[in-house]
């Protein structure tokens, strides 16, 4: 009896990443809602003590009165909760998962030799270079005069991420390219907390302990980075689940698909941010949904002007179909996998018999022919002719 440690470790890291991510994003969404929902304090005593806004809420059978100070309270409270570990553990678990799946498993999930011949270490260094370079660019841009112009800043940062998505799609597998764009965004979000938001809050606390009034610019800079994180949340969530949808990352224009969906997410987030302030404008969600539909149709080829191809009458035998699948799929999808590191067929899907192939024909066609997402990284060198013949043969199998 053996234990697949890599699989169990991957499960633990993915589970931890989801849990901590929910905690981080949930608290982020909550505080943005809270900040946007505050009303001027009703009591003169609160105003005199520097309270800039308050909110009454009910939850779980209890009533809560939340207050926000314009700068800081007059004295340091005995108990002060810091919202930081959610962000730190989300980053740590995500980075370890990236290392386990994409760097340790680089030959399977990251390297596409049809695009660029790389050794696992080289691919890892390229990936880390994009992640670190993304943070350096983002942080430098924040510190420049452009950082004080939210719209201009957003356009430039979005453009850099889109260019990175294009460049990565020319180097890595589509799945590997997407996850590295997500890692760039997630790293910027986590380092905003670690390197900017928390340090500035600590400076404010230190000033309070010395009996001084904290510099209000500290809070403004932390708030700016926090709002950046707020707008980057929906795109990074999309990328977290994108590996389940080859239709997103498998095409030649996958980078545009990613950019389009992320752009569609921005007005959705804007709608909720404004709604918290009492401003309801349904043009924002309408624009987001419309953008999603346009990307969906474009990625599906609906807008293509190419004339439909004539039906191919070539005959491909069941034997040829089975041979192609044995060559390119059965190393993993078998009751006795031969691929290194795979002890059981992924998701229990096996192609050992014609009955199994027929039962899974639509799935095989979608993954290996239409999306060209399998084999992972095309490590078996499946050619366009192989895919064409496989598609024809699957269509011709008797049902």
pLDDT digits (tens, 9 = 90+) for 53-90: 999 999 999 999 999 998 888 788 888 889 999 999 99
Last residue of a domain, one of 299, 329, 351: 299
Helices 198-209 and 216-241 meet at what angle, rounded to 10? Answer: 150
Q: Residues 6 or more apart from 69 whose CB is under 8 A from it?
A: 49, 50, 51, 52
- 238, 101: one domain: yes
pLDDT over 90 at 256, yes or no: yes
Give the model's pLDDT for residue 156. 98
362 in any annotated domain: yes
Q: Are residues 160 and 278 both part of a single domain?
A: yes
- Considering the domain boundaries, does residue 176 fall inside one? yes
The residue assigned the tokens 């043009």 is 283
Which has more confidence, 312 or 187?
187
Spatial CA neighbour of 214 closest among 67, 70, 31: 70
Contacts of residue 388, Cβ cutoff 8 Å, sequence gap at least 6: 369
pLDDT at 15 over 80: yes
Note whether 191 and 295 are same-domain residues. Answer: yes
Is 54 within the bounds of a domain?
no
Q: Which of 268, 299, 330 is the last residue of a domain?
A: 299
- Look up the domain containing 143 and give its range: 5-37+71-299
Instruction: Flag whether pLDDT at 3 surpasses 80.
Output: no
Residue 56: both structure tokens together: 């009454």
Is there a domain that residue 305 lies in?
no
Whether 274 is in a domain gets the answer yes
Sign of the C-alpha dihedral computed for residues 46, 47, 51 and 57 taken in this order: positive
Examine the domain organization and report whether 224 and 358 are in the same domain. no
**Same domain flag for 254 and 339:** no
Sign of torsion over alpha carbons 46, 49, 55, 58: negative
Per-residue confidence band for 385, with pLDDT thresholds at 50, 70 and 90: confident
Tell me the pTM: 0.82
For Cα atoms 395, 397, 399, give the angle at the middle one, nearest 5 degrees: 105
User: Is 65 within the bounds of a domain?
Assistant: no
Q: Does residue 322 sit in the same domain as residue 266?
A: no
282/160 Cα distance (integer angstroms): 29
**Do 239 and 354 share a domain, yes or no?**
no
Strand partners of residue 51: 69
Q: Judge whether 9 lies within some domain.
A: yes
337 CA to centre of own chain? 30
What's residue 311's pLDDT? 56
Do 286 and 380 fall within a single domain?
Answer: no
Q: Are residues 351 and 258 in the same domain?
A: no
Instruction: Based on the fold, state whether residues 189 and 225 are members of the same structural domain.
Output: yes
What's the structural domain count of the chain? 2
């Amino acid at each position: 009896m053996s234990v697949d440690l890599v699989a169990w470790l991957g499960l633990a890291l993915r589970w931890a990443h989801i849990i901590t991510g929910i905690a981080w994003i949930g608290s982020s969404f909550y505080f943005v809602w809270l900040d946007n929902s505050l009303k001027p304090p009703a009591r003169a005593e609160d105003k005199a003590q520097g309270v800039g806004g308050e909110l009454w809420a009910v939850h779980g059978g209890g009533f809560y009165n939340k207050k926000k100070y314009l700068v800081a309270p007059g004295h340091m409270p005995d108990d002060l909760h810091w919202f930081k570990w959610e962000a730190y553990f989300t980053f740590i678990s995500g980075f370890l998962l990236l290392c386990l799946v994409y760097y340790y498993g680089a030959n399977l999930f990251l390297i596409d030799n049809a695009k660029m011949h790389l050794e696992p270490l080289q691919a890892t260094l390229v990936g880390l270079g994009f992640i670190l370079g993304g943070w350096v660019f983002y942080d430098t841009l924040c510190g420049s005069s452009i950082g004080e112009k939210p719209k201009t800043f957003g356009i430039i940062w979005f453009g850099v991420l889109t260019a990175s998505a294009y460049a990565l799609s020319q180097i890595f597998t589509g799945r590997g390219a997407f996850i590295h764009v997500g890692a760039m965004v997630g790293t910027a979000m986590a380092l905003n907390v670690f390197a900017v938001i928390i340090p500035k809050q600590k400076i404010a606390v230190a000033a309070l302990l010395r009996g001084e009034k904290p510099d209000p610019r500290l809070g403004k800079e932390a708030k700016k980075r926090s709002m950046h994180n707020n707008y980057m949340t929906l795109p990074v969530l999309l990328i977290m689940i994108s590996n389940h949808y080859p239709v997103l990352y498998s095409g030649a224009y996958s980078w545009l698909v990613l950019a389009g969906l992320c752009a569609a997410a921005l007005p959705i987030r804007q709608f909720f941010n404004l709604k918290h302030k009492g401003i309801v404008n349904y043009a924002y969600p309408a624009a987001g949904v419309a953008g999603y539909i346009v990307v969906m149709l474009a990625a599906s080829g609906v807008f293509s002007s190419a004339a439909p191809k004539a039906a191919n009458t070539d005959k491909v035998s069941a034997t040829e179909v089975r041979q192609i699948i044995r060559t390119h799929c059965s190393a993993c999808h078998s009751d006795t996998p031969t691929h290194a590191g795979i002890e059981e067929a992924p998701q229990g899907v096996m192609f050992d018999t014609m009955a199994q192939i027929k039962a899974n024909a639509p799935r095989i066609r979608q993954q290996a022919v239409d999306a060209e997402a399998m084999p992972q990284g095309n490590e078996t060198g499946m050619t366009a002719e192989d895919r064409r013949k496989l598609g024809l043969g699957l269509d011709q199998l008797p049902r």
